Structure formats: structure tokens, C-alpha cells
Structure 1
Amino acid sequence: MDNLIKFLEEKDFTEEAVNLKNGSDILNLSKKRLTDKDVKEISKLLASDNNIIIQLDLFGNNISTNGAIELAKLLKLNKTLIGLDLGNNDIDKIGASEIEKALKANTTLIFLNLTWNSVESAKYKNIKKYLVRNANLTNEQELVKMAKKFNVCYIFDISTS
């Protein structure tokens, strides 16, 4: 976790670094103008560090296919992350396919936002199956209830994608 905090401090994300130092298990990096290179570094740190991050918010950054591929690598390794917000980025069907492949191996992620990206609705349906499986639920309605419990606004809204 120390390396992640150091990275955040070097990027002048002081508030986020302080939150982690104080034991937060949520890392909110929404609207920070992060690039694929930044996401690659964050993914490496979350995969290798002893971290407790359960929710990673990357909404509204500059993440494209390459960043999605790095996050997919993270999802294959990470055993703590249950929520990932990638809404309003530049992720295309290739990036979404890599995330979908990673979710085949991942058993912890149960919330994922990919709205306002260039992702086909068929991908959403496939990805949803893995999230429902990971949440150990029988249907999508139970997943919506769980999202509300964890204060997650939405899981998927394919009408805005």
C-alpha cells in the first residue's frame, strides 16, 4: 500500500493518499485526467501491493483500450476489488472484451460501470453474467439490491452507452 500512496502523492492526489493512510478501502480517482500509462502503474501497484482497496473509481478519465487491457490484467490477479467504475472513458469493444475475458477468472468483482464508453450491449449481457456469478446471486434483481446496499449508483445502463 505504501507504493500506491507514494504514487498518489507524486501525482499531487493528496486527499486520496491521506484517505488511504487513514485506512480507507475506496480509491476515488474520478475526473483526474488519468491516462493509460497512469492506469498501467495503478494496476501494477494494486496487483503487487498488499492492498485493501475494494472499490476503484476511474470515472471520467482518458482511459482507452490499452488502459482497459491493463485493468483486465489486474482483475485476473486481484482478490479484493468488488467495485470498478470505468464510466465516461474511451473504452471500446476490444477493451471491453479483455475485461470480459478477465472476469472469467475473477471471482470478486460484483459491480462494474462501463456506461458512456463504446461498448456493445451484447458485451454488457456477458459481463453481467460474471458479476451475478461473483455475487453468488440467482438473478440481476438481487445484484441491483446489493448495489444499493453498497451505495453503488448503478451497475449497467445500456441505454446511455
Structure 2
Amino acid sequence: MYAVVTAIALTSMQVLRTLPERYNEVDVVPCPGRCATAYGAASFRRIVDALASEGETLALARVLVVGVADKAGDTHVQESSAVEVINGMRDAGASVSFIDDLVGSITVRGGRMASVHAGDPSEWDAVLVHTLHPGVDHAWLSAARRVLFAAEC
């Protein structure tokens, strides 16, 4: 098991330090600025590659997106790559949900999607950390099977 970091804001480094040592391979790609489309595509590709590395596919995978807001501490999703990533994963056959303490629901292709409770982290094939809000306990991420980071600057 390993965590893959596509682009990570400095505040998210705290979460990396709390993950167990089983996540020992971390690939950090610099975050050059806001570009939802580029980060959305990179996040989508990282999920596909991480699943494929263990002989799994995105079709029928259960994926949880943590935080869908544009940036930490915000409720806006207009410039967020999370919606694009969720739509893409759903189009590919994945069962996708999201959890965001500041965003109760979002509009995706096909209608509205409501935020869920994390529940048992092991029930997800992959957890994509998109936005980490300050003051929210993310310790449960350490029990997730596969954690991928895709935070925007």
C-alpha cells in the first residue's frame, strides 16, 4: 500500500505525517497554481493507475472524495476539479461518494449528490483527498486502504 500525492498544499503535509508507515512511497508533484482541469485529469489518472497497479479497475470501484470545495475553509465549488473528477469516475463505472463538512451537496451530471459520512474507511477501494478543511479531524484516513492526494493550491 502507498499514498500517491499529485499536488499537495502545505497544510496537507500534516495529514501525510499522521498516515501509517505502510504508506511509504510518496510521489510529490509541484503545485504550480490553480488549474482545475489539469489537476482533475491528473487526479483521475492517478486513481486509475493506483487501482491498475493492484490488478483492479475503476469500473465498479468504490471511491470516496474527501473535500470538494475550491480551497480549504471555503464552501464554493465553482472552480474545483473535484466535480470534474467525480463525473469522470462515475462515467467510467465507479461508485463515487464525497464527504465535505462545509459543502452539503454538489451538482454532478445526472443531478445532485449529497455529502456522506465517512463510515468505515476500509469499505472504499480508494480515497481521494481533494480539499482538507481546517479544524476537521482527518485521522480516520489512516485506516483507509488506499489514499491518494490531489489538493489544489
Higher share in strand: 2
The structure having more radius of gyration, on CA atoms, is 1
Higher share in helix: 1
Q: Answer 1 or 2: higher relative contact order, Cα 8 Å, separation at least 6.
A: 2
